[in-house]
Amino acid sequence: MHFVAALDRVPGMRCVLCLFEGVATGAADGYGRMAERPAITLLHGGPGLANGLANLHNARRALTPIPQRGRRSSDAIIVRSNPPLTADTEGWARGLSAWTRVVQSVSMIGPDAAAAVQAARTPTARSRP
């Protein structure tokens, strides 16, 4: 929630809370198609990504720019506290995305997020599979 609150304070960013990842990814696809601008989603672990896979597949086919942010399966706190939330999110993302990156450190979140938005704005990174 701190991350979402911080994003909401950034000029030019508008955060929209969706209570289900299927709704969030569908809304991002619709926004991206209409505005022709990236609509970033923040999904919760493997189950969150799984809930949005169909909409992300449709967005990829339509060349909609949607950078994703989700937790990796190796996040230690998730693995220790709730094994059902673990999944190969990186592998799933590779199947839906022409461009992927795993953030290696907290200091790289900003630069990697900027690279994701830039890639989403590049038609070759959004090419059909």
Tens digit of each residue's pLDDT, the chain (129 residues): 777 788 888 888 888 888 899 999 999 999 989 998 888 888 877 788 889 889 988 888 888 888 766 554 444 444 455 566 667 777 877 777 778 888 888 888 888 888 888 888 887 655 544
**Neighbouring C-beta atoms of residue 8, cutoff 10 Å:** 11
What are the extents of the domains in the chain?
Answer: 2-126
Candidate CATH numbers 3.30.530.20, 3.40.50.970, 1.10.10.10, 3.40.50.300; the one for domain 2-126: 3.40.50.970
Q: Is 66 helix (H, G, I), strand (E, B) or coil?
A: coil
Q: 124 Cβ partners below 8 Å, 6+ apart?
A: 98
